[in-house]
Structure 1
Amino acid sequence: MQPEKLEISSSFESDTEDLSGNAILLKNGIRLFNEDWKVGVAYFVGKGLMENEPQSIASFLITHNEHLSKLQIGELIAGKDNDDTQVLIHFTNLIDFKKEKFDVSLRKYLTKFWLPGEAQKIDRITRIFANKYFEDNPEVFPSADCVYVTTFSVIMLNTDMHSPVILEKDKMTKEGFIKNNSGTWNDTDPPRKFLEELYDSISECEIVLKKGEDPEKRGWNKSVVALPHYKVQTRTWFCLYGNELRWYRSLEQSSIMGRISLDYVTIREDVNIF
C-alpha cells in the first residue's frame, strides 16, 4: 500500500493584504515615510489617509506602527516644534500602561520607535512617558517627576551595562545603582527591592535604544499542509534585509527561526513575490 500524498501549498501575503481599497496608497506612503517622515506625512495628508493635526498623526503612527520605520517615528515625535510635541503627547497617551511593572512599560514604549541620541529629545520623550506612566499607575511612584528621574537613571544604566566600550570591571554595580538613586523620590530613597529588581531586569535583558535595521520587504508566508483527515495552516513572518532573508515566529522579530543568504539567487522581475 502506498502512503497517502501530502498536499502542500504556500502563498506569500503582503503586509497590506488586509487593507481596503486604499492599500496601494498606504503602501506607497509607508515607503515614503520610511525614507523621510515629513514627505510621508505630507503624502498621507494629501491622499486623505490622515488629517494634518497631532491627534490624527499620532493615531496613524500607532495603528500602522509595525510597518513604519521606528527611526522616522522617533525623529517625528521628538521634534522641538509645538506640533511635534503634541504628536508625542497624543502618541504616548494612546499606549496603555495600566497595572504594568515600570520596566515592562518602558520596554513596551521603546519598541514603538527608536530613541533619538540627542539629550534634549531624550529628555522630552522621557518626561512625556513619565507623565503617562504616573497617570496610569499613581500607586507605584510618589509623583511623575520621580518616574522621570528613574526613567533617566534606567536609560543610563542600560547604556552602561550593555555598551561594548565599557569594560566589565567598570560597569555599574547593583550597589552603585542604588546609591545613585538615593534621595531621588522627593528627597527620599526609592524602595531597595524595587531598585534591585530594576537592576536585575536591565542587567539580564538590554533595552535596545539605538537604531536597528528596517527590513526592505516583509510579509506573512501562509502554508497549508493537507493531512489525511484535516488540514494544518501555518503562518511565518518573513523579512528581507539586503541579500538575506530571515523568518520569525511573530511580528516582533524577537524569535528568529532561520535565515538564508540570497547572494547567488536571481529573482525574475516579472514575478511579484512581495
Structure 2
Amino acid sequence: MVKFRYSLQMGQGLWRVARNQHLQQEAYSEPGYLSREQSRRGTSGNISQSGHRKQAQGGIDIYHLLKARRSKEQEGFINLEMLPPELSFTILSYLNATDLCLASCVWQDLANDELLWQGKLYLQLDEGSLTFNANPEEGVSYFMSKGILDDSPKEIAKFIFCTRTLNWKKLRIYLDERRDVLDDLVTLHNFRNQFLPNALREFFRHIHAPEERGEYLETLITKFSHRFCACNPDLMRELGLSPDAVYVLCYSLILLSIDLTSPHVKNKMSKREFIRNTRRAAQNISEDFVGHLYDNIYLIGHVAA
C-alpha cells in the first residue's frame, strides 16, 4: 500500500506540473494580455500596420484554439487527451489497477493501452516477492495463483535465477528444503572458461552459502564441483582434475577466504602454507595453479561473502 500511495503521489505531481504549464500558456493568450501587447506595439514607429494586423490575427487564433480546449481544465482537472501521448501514458502508469479501470471510463483509448496493463505485472511481482520474503512457500503459491509460475522445479529455478528481489536468507531456507529446485538452479549456471575462484563467487551470489559449515554447504560445493567440471571438460583433462579434486579446492578456498579476511585471525596463512596444505589433500594439482588460487583470494577477497 505504501508503494501504491507513493506511485499515486508521483502521478498527481506530474499531473499538477502539466496543468500549471498549460495554464501558463493560457495566461499569455488571454484577451487582456493581447490588448496590452497590441497597444504597446502600436506606440512603436518601427513596426508596420500590416505587421500589427498579422500579430493580432495570430493572437486571436491562438486564443480561440485554447478556449475550445479549456472545457475540462475549468472543471478542475486537465484532459489527458490534450497532452503529448508520452506524458499521458507516464501519468497513467503511476495508477494502480483499480484507478486505471476508472481512468479507462474517461480516457478509453489511453487507459486501455496494452502496455499500461502489462505494467501491472510488476505490481504482482512486488506483492509476490514481499510474500516470499515473509513465507517462501506462500510466496511461490502466490506466483502460481497469478499464473506467473508453473508448478515445476525447472520454472521455479528459472525465476529464482533471474530475480534479485528475494531475501537471500529466506531463499536459502527454501532451497535447502527444495533440493529438486536447487538441482535445476545449479544447471542454469555456465562456468565455461572461468577461473575457479571467480566461478565460485558467481555461484554463491545466486545461491548464498550458509553461515555455518554443515551438510547443506557440502551439498552446494559438491553440486558446484560437478557443474564446473561439466562446463570445462578440456580444462579438467589438461589439469588432471576431477569433481572430487575441485571439491577439495573449493573447500580450501573457503577456508583461505576466512583466514585472510577475518579480523580474528592474527597469523594469516602464507602462500607457501596454502600450497603445501592443498597439495597434500590433492596431490595431482600443480604448484603454480594452487599459487594462482592463493593470489586471487589475497587480491580480490572472499569467495562466499
Q: TM-score range by the shorter chain?
A: 0.5 to 0.7
Larger RCO (alpha carbons 8 Å, 6+ apart): 1
Q: Check 1:74–1:207 CA distance in 2 against 1; reply closer, same or farther (3 A cut).
A: farther
- The 5-angstrom pairing of residues 89-104 of structure 1 reads 89-104=183-198
Asked whether the 8 Å contact 1:88–1:128 carries over to 2, the reply is no
Larger-gyration structure (1/2): 2
Matched, 1:178 2:275: yes
Which structure: greater strand fraction? 1
Asked whether the 8 Å contact 1:78–1:85 carries over to 2, the reply is yes
Does 152-161 or 48-57 show the bigger shift? 48-57
Q: Check 1:208–1:132 CA distance in 2 against 1; reply closer, same or farther (3 A cut).
A: closer
Deviation at 1:161, TM superposition (A): 1.0
Find 1:35's aligned residue among 114, 134, 144: 134
Q: Check 1:201–1:208 CA distance in 2 against 1; reply closer, same or farther (3 A cut).
A: closer
Matched, 1:50 2:145: no
Q: Percent identity?
A: 26
Letter in 1 for 2:141: A
Partner of 1:72: 170
Q: Matches of 1:158 and 1:145 in 2, distance apart?
A: 20
Q: Matches of 2:173 and 2:146 in 1, distance apart?
A: 22
Letter in 2 for 1:181: T
Letter in 2 for 1:102: L
Letter in 2 for 1:76: Y
Deviation at 1:20, TM superposition (A): 4.2
- TM-score normalised by length of structure 1: 0.63
Find 1:111's aligned residue among 205, 219, 223: 205
Partner of 1:147: 246
Find 2:293's aligned residue among 198, 222, 242: 198
Letter in 1 for 2:184: H
- TM-score normalised by length of structure 2: 0.57
Q: For residues 61-83 of structure 1, what are the alpha-carbon distances to aligned partners after superposition, in whole Å with 9 as ceiling and x for unaligned? A: 0121x22222222222233xxxx
Deviation at 1:183, TM superposition (A): 4.2
Q: Matches of 2:220 and 2:176 in 1, distance apart?
A: 7
Deviation at 1:124, TM superposition (A): 0.6
Runs of 4+ in 1 over 6 A off after TM superposition: none
Q: Matches of 2:247 and 2:303 in 1, distance apart?
A: 19
RMSD: 2.4
Partner of 1:126: 221
Structure 2 unmatched ranges of 5 or more = 1-89, 95-114
- Count of residues paired in the alignment: 188
Q: Matches of 1:91 and 1:99 in 2, distance apart?
A: 20
Which structure: greater helix fraction? 2
